Structure 1
Amino acid sequence: MILRNVHGRSAGPGRDISIRRFTDGDSAEELTLLLHRAYAAHAAAGRVFFASYQSVQDTAIRAGRGECWLAFQGVELVGSVTVAAPYAVPAGYPAPADAGSFWQLAVDPTCQGAGLGQRLLTVAEDRIIALGAAEAVIDTSVEAVELVGWYLRRGYAPIGTWRWDVTNYESVVLLKDLAAARLER
């Protein structure tokens, strides 16, 4: 089968994937289990991302702070991302105040490597622009070299570091000029 994006175009090998907004009928518990699975390898490597252990209540709160998008393979939840613009940053966080952001970007381990992460990233960036922000800011563990590299290859650039009180690592803060990236397409 072909992995298809929300517009039906082929996106790589795999099974058909649909992406839609989280609705009242969706399960925060199911989303939490997906997050735990998706971030388990990071936790096993000693990088305790909040998504690797957050509660169902935490998931619902974090999903409610923006637009939560879900990816399904048939009826099975296999991916997610939550988007907000502007992104309310804590004092001292090294990012522009008017930037958008995304979090809880997760792909089930059985679907990783098939392009779903890129599709969810594209949804996040498109929604940030639609919500009125020209830049996206994110952060991830400085120790997650493969993940940092993934973002760098997609146009994100480091702008500083941050330490969250819910993780056990220092984060690299990355920024992408979405308006400039659209002009390059």
Structure 2
Amino acid sequence: MVLHSGAHVHHVGPSAVKLRRFAEGDSAEDLTRLLHRAYADHAAAGRVFFASYQSVRDTTARLARGECWVAFHDGELVGSVTVAAPYAMPERYPAPVGAGSFWQLAVDPTYQGTGLGQRLLTLAEERIVALGSAEAVIDTSARAVDLVGWYCRRGYVPVGTWRWDVTNYESVVLLKDLAVTRHEL
């Protein structure tokens, strides 16, 4: 893994970043700052993801809705994802009942492009299956073309659109059949 921070390039082995559950004593403030950093480029491009501006109180409320997993490197929080299965979807949300979901998938900008996002995505999908769901549903800005492409290359398929009242864009809803993925391995 190669990390770019300013003019310096750091080589980090995959095992150097540790993943674990968010635990008592972990900081919702630190997690909120990570989310703001991870989603800052989207906000700068005019896609105001909730994670780009949510308060510490919002972060705490979102943590309570699922299992939050965090990634640390040398004691520094560098990534996160929160998972729930089944996920309680709003009425008319275009996804199958019983599907799991994840949110707050975030990677510190200095760790983006290192494979950490893929590790967190894989962890989220494994947890969704372990919690009893065979499908994962997520949504993201339809205007975040690179991000939508990233998910599609990982087996997610657009199944509809949704509009949240905390964002300034229409979301594309993406679904992945995790049972098929598991059997193909």
TM-score band w.r.t. shorter chain: over 0.9
Once the 2 structures are TM-superposed, how far is the Cα of residue 2 of structure 1 from its aligned partner?
8.3
Q: Aligned pair 1:92/2:92, yes or no?
A: yes
Structure 2 counterparts to residues 8-157 of structure 1, below 5 A: 14-15=12-13, 16-157=16-157
Once the 2 structures are TM-superposed, how far is the Cα of residue 93 of structure 1 from its aligned partner?
0.3
Q: Aligned pair 1:171/2:164, yes or no?
A: no
Distance in 2 separating the partners of 1:97 and 1:24: 31
Once the 2 structures are TM-superposed, how far is the Cα of residue 184 of structure 1 from its aligned partner?
1.3
Distance in 2 separating the partners of 1:184 and 1:150: 20
3-state SS of 2:166 partner = coil
3-state SS of 1:179 partner = helix
Distance in 1 separating the partners of 2:184 and 2:108: 31
TM-score, with normalisation over the residues of structure 2? Answer: 0.93
| One-letter identity of the residue aligned with 1:118 | Q
Distance in 1 separating the partners of 2:45 and 2:147: 13
Contact 2:81 2:124 in 1 (8 A): yes
Distance in 1 separating the partners of 2:146 and 2:24: 35
Distance in 1 separating the partners of 2:162 and 2:156: 16
1:10 alignment partner in structure 2: none
Task: Give the superposed CA RMSD.
Answer: 1.3
Distance in 1 separating the partners of 2:75 and 2:55: 23
Contact 2:2 2:114 in 1 (8 A): no
3-state SS of 2:179 partner = helix
2:7 alignment partner in structure 1: none
Contact 2:101 2:128 in 1 (8 A): yes
TM-score, with normalisation over the residues of structure 1? Answer: 0.93
Post-superposition Cα deviations, 1:80-116, rounded to whole Å, max 9, x if no partner, equal 0000000000001000110000000000000000000
| One-letter identity of the residue aligned with 1:38 | A
Once the 2 structures are TM-superposed, how far is the Cα of residue 79 of structure 1 from its aligned partner?
0.1
1:8 alignment partner in structure 2: none
Distance in 2 separating the partners of 1:2 and 1:39: 21
- Aligned structure 1 segments of 4 or more residues deviating by more than 6 angstroms: none
Q: Percent identity?
A: 76
1:9 alignment partner in structure 2: none
Unaligned residue ranges in structure 2 (runs of 5+): 4-10
| One-letter identity of the residue aligned with 1:53 | Y
| One-letter identity of the residue aligned with 1:26 | D
